[in-house]
Structure 1
């Protein structure tokens, strides 16, 4: 009787471990999914920076004389915003 119980416990334990392994294999990210994730991070960081550069350049050209102060300020602001975007995205995923 005692050996039957121990065999049943061992069998259940092995089946639980096998289920955990199958679940881990099915949840593992593919190379394509990882590439898309990294590409998304890049876009989330670069797009606000480039948009800030274009907006700052447009404002600078609207003012008399040449100045790059708005461009530089908006590039820095875009970089900070891009960093926040990446942090929020990584925390959610």
Structure 2
């Protein structure tokens, strides 16, 4: 078993501290992104469906044309939101 001198031990501990600090910094930066992915995906869909339902209520008779159309539009917007958030 090799015996380390004090300088080698100091260098090893400094490398470990730097590695731990880098991991903590990266972990803190990724948490807000993960937490908001669901919101940036779901909120446009919910808003679009709500708007579509409101528009369908303004049309005479039973219709879901606007609701379904805006559902897909909200889905596309949500996908783009997630893409641009991950791209950052």
Partner of 1:42: 38
Partner of 2:26: 28
Instruction: Tell me, yes or no, if structure 1 residue 56 matches structure 2 residue 47.
Output: no
* Structure whose alpha-carbon radius of gyration is higher: 1
Describe the superposition over 1:14-61 as per-residue Cα deviations: whole angstroms up to 9, x where unpaired.
57x82752552342315xx63x43230000000000001000000000
Instruction: Tell me, yes or no, if structure 1 residue 78 matches structure 2 residue 74.
Output: yes
CA–CA distance in 2 between the matches of 1:88 and 1:71?
Answer: 26
How many residue pairs match? The answer is 77
Could you say what secondary structure the match of 1:28 adopts?
helix
Instruction: Tell me, yes or no, if structure 1 residue 68 matches structure 2 residue 61.
Output: no
* TM-score normalised by length of structure 1: 0.68
CA–CA distance in 1 between the matches of 2:22 and 2:35?
Answer: 24
The RMSD of aligned alpha carbons is 2.5
* TM-score normalised by length of structure 2: 0.72
What are structure 2's unaligned runs of at least 5 residues? Answer: 1-7
